[in-house]
Structure 1
């Protein structure tokens, strides 16, 4: 009889415990799926985001507009500011040339994307050193800024988005050294070895952005990457002045084609049901649809992650009215896109056209435009001279422009690459944004065995007068 009573009592306790456990687990899962807590995924991990606009000056308006727009998407997805790190020069919103003071837009409909964006690393604090150490979570190595870093754990997911100019093997930064592909990959490898993330997704908007990862990013580190361009082509700006859908008040491009493609797609779709792969296909089609004025969106790293829902990286959000979706669908089929290297020329031409005829303003704008075009001719001719001097008249052009086959990094010896770039700066001056399109020349010199002393001797004759 006592044994029977014990069994009944045990059954009652077990039932109550099971019901209590079920209730707790049900509540816990419901809490995780709540949009307001979407930066916590089903592994109890946190989503971290690093957003980088690597340029400055009003003619590069589009890069900061891209980054601000991406921030609004993440906030709508439920991420907290403490988990979003923003690198942005912050010289656009209140720039005297901005027709809408205190506002930044990323598409022709004029929705403001600037409000609320954190100012973690701005102005002189926008450096490669700060960015790489922020990703690593090394607060002691940070100089200036808020000191915010990716203080992630083994169950956390990381989203990195970069928008700016680039070149073969580099991503531009407005202060100090640019980010070399080897240094960026090394940072990712260290982060992986630290075991402080579960998976990572990286979106990169830059010319030749594929060269940052092609032949360099190893599989097996749980990192998935898409880039706006392959290793040897430009990416494209969009929503530029001159298009009928762009407000006449703007003299500069409002966004970048790859960037607005993924963000406007994110605005229109439910991130919980859309995968990385499905977004890649949408962005790939839209970015390339311009034919001769579109780039090839690429994938690198661990493609098995492409089946993950977007919500694991940008938070949980459903379609919203933050952007006028109907207008966007119409716009991107009718606008023209501009090579990143030509976007500043479009801006300078607009300044000339909009200045009063015969005014000092127009004369100054025309002078700046002509100086920029002259500088480009000088840069191009300088590299042609270097190629011919090193490899002969017949092979010089070919050797400077040669693109390695897919799967091979642009250079084998990165120390040589950096040294030759430094040698050029010493004798010929800092490479301009346009000049960085020739970075492949230094890689090819290293691959061909050109020594630093050899190039230094040549440049001392070629670059008698420095230009920058």
Structure 2
């Protein structure tokens, strides 16, 4: 075959191949594009599952009015944004709406001049039902509770779960009125178990408490689809806000709740990421009281990618609502642990009646005396322990590593000595229990505590 004939044949071959290639890959591209449309649409559509919400105020007493009010307010906001009642579980002691100190019986407000946030709040778990055991069972959809007719979170693999817990806390614990505490280890184990059982797609947890960061800092993995926001750093105290002294004589909120609820009422939650809400909270981390600047530092833990990928609406509802509330900067603050004693101090300051003022002075003296008694008893207990440096144990802050010892010692203290949930001042002593566990054998520490607490006389009144 002549050269020119070979060239013609080669050109025909290449042309046929080229046309075939174009036809083949054009159809392939069209097929991919056609199938990509529903895929891309799926990415932009809301997630297929449901949103479940657990709200819990595990504190009680008039000094903790704001903690219960926060949860009531959260319920109203989340319901208004479209989360149905069937998917919301509320746990609260329910003692402030009809409390003797409440000037407006049956009404609870979360800020001065604010609307009633109590109306319509469910009573799924109230009073003595508000325990750490029930909290974890509700969260994990406990079948026994459900069989008893109690409401639980029934989330599945496609669902989102949002949890808000508001109470007092200390090193790796959250207090409950029952005397038992919620341990960080148990909470994080619940997360792991739920992830293993595919009980959620993602879970977001907001915690308002002193030293709230300690519940997650060393224990929450970043690969189990859980994202947590704490009101405070692991070693930081939290603040109450919105004091009112003409009618209520207490704090109507906690500082952390004021910020995230304000944002959830004013922002378009369908366009705001969870991370944006966290930054909103984080930026409002200081306030001035009596001419002095104070700080509270929100923290985030776990799978941080959740916060960037998800909108707040996926956890709090996507219905757009115009709330009847103005953005008001929080005022009137108190360290959460000192609220009860600061109420009495404020009553002394604002009361003109001499007899009433004298009663308040005597009440304050008695409260301070009980605090001094606990200080003395803790020191006496420490001095019964062999081979330790009492100065280190009583005054320093060691890192918690011996977690099993600490859990046993905290539970023993709350059951044998002072109910931690009822004696708020005892939370200041948890760091001493950490230090003991880092310097003493577990059984020695626990046995000495039992023996000591069995031998002492305890005051009838709570140590607040």
Fold similarity call, TM over 0.5: yes
> Are 1:338 and 2:334 counterparts?
yes
Cα deviation per residue 1:267-324 (whole Å; 9 max; x = unaligned)? 1111111111111111112133447522111111001111121001001144623311
Question: Match for residue 299 of structure 1?
Answer: 300
Query: For residues 349-388 of structure 1, what are the structure 2 equivalents within 5 Å?
Result: 349-352=345-348, 357-359=353-355, 364-387=359-382
1:418 to 2:407 alignment? yes
Of 451, 458, 462, the residue aligned with 1:466 is 458
Gaps of at least 5 residues in structure 2 are 1-34
* Residue number in structure 2 paired with 1:157: 160
- Residue 436 of structure 2 is aligned with which of 435, 445, 451? 445
SS of alignment partner, residue 254 of structure 1: strand
Asked if 1:347 corresponds to 2:351, the answer is: no
TM-score (norm 1): 0.81
Range with bigger deviation, 177-186 or 362-371 = 362-371
| 1:193 and 2:196 are equivalent in the alignment | yes
* Matching of residue 399 in structure 1 with residue 393 in structure 2: yes
More strand by share: 2
Give yes or no for contact 2:385–2:448 (8 Å, CA) kept in 1: no
Cα distance change of structure 1 residues 152 and 98 upon mapping to structure 2, 3 Å threshold:
same
Counterpart of 2:316? 314
Give me the whole-angstrom Cα distance separating, in 2, the residues matched to 1:466 and 1:336. Answer: 33
Counterpart contact for 2:180–2:411, Cα < 8 Å: no
Structure 2 counterpart of 1:253:
251
- Give the Cα separation in 2 of the matches to 1:426 and 1:174: 12
SS of the aligned residue for 1:434 comes to: helix
Does residue 267 (structure 1) correspond to residue 270 (structure 2)? The answer is no
Deviates more, 1:374-383 or 1:274-283: 374-383
Alpha-carbon separation, structure 2, partners of 1:51 and 1:452: 37
Q: Where do 5+ consecutive residues of structure 1 fail to align?
A: 1-21, 34-40, 243-247
CA drift of 1:80 comes to 0.8
CA distance change for structure 1 residues 426 and 274 in 2, over 3 Å: closer, same or farther? closer
Counterpart CA distance in 2 for 1:440 and 1:315 is 39
Q: Distance in 2 between matches of 1:287 and 1:458?
A: 38
Contact 1:93 1:114 in 2 (8 A): yes
Counterparts of 1:294 and 1:421, CA distance in 2: 28
Query: What CA distance in whole angstroms lies between the structure 1 residues aligned with 2:127 and 2:147?
Result: 12
Contact 1:48/1:84, CA 8 A, preserved across alignment: yes
Q: After TM superposition, give the deviation of residue 189 of structure 1 in Å.
A: 1.3
1:93 Cα deviation from its structure 2 partner: 1.1
Compared CA separation, residues 284 and 380, structure 1 to 2 (3 A): farther
CA offset at residue 452 of structure 1? Answer: 2.9
| CA-CA distance at 1:81 after TM superposition | 0.8
Write the distance in 2 (CA, Å) between the matches of 1:229 and 1:215. 15
User: 5 Å matches for 1:72-151?
Assistant: 72-141=76-145, 147-151=150-154
Separation (CA, whole Å) in 1 of partners of 2:167 and 2:439: 30
The residue number in structure 1 matching 2:242 is 239
Cα displacement (A) at 1:357: 2.5
Question: Displacement, 1:362?
Answer: 5.1
More divergent stretch after superposition (115-124 vs 376-385): 376-385
Counterpart position of 1:55: 59
CA offset at residue 116 of structure 1?
1.1
Change (3 A) 1:293 1:241: farther
CA distance in 2, matches of 1:423, 1:102: 37
Question: Contact 1:160 / 1:203 at 8 angstroms: preserved in 2?
Answer: yes
Alpha-carbon distance, 1:369 to partner = 2.4
Q: Which of 197, 205, 210 is residue 208 of structure 2 equivalent to?
A: 205
Instruction: Give per-residue Cα distances to partners, 1:174-213, cap 9 Å, x unaligned.
Output: 1241111111111111111110100010000001111111
Alpha-carbon RMSD across the aligned residues, in angstroms, is 2.9
When residues 158 and 427 of structure 1 are mapped into structure 2, their CA distance, relative to the original with a 3 A threshold, is closer
Distance 1:356 1:411, change over 3 A: same
Distance 1:54 1:397 in 2: 34
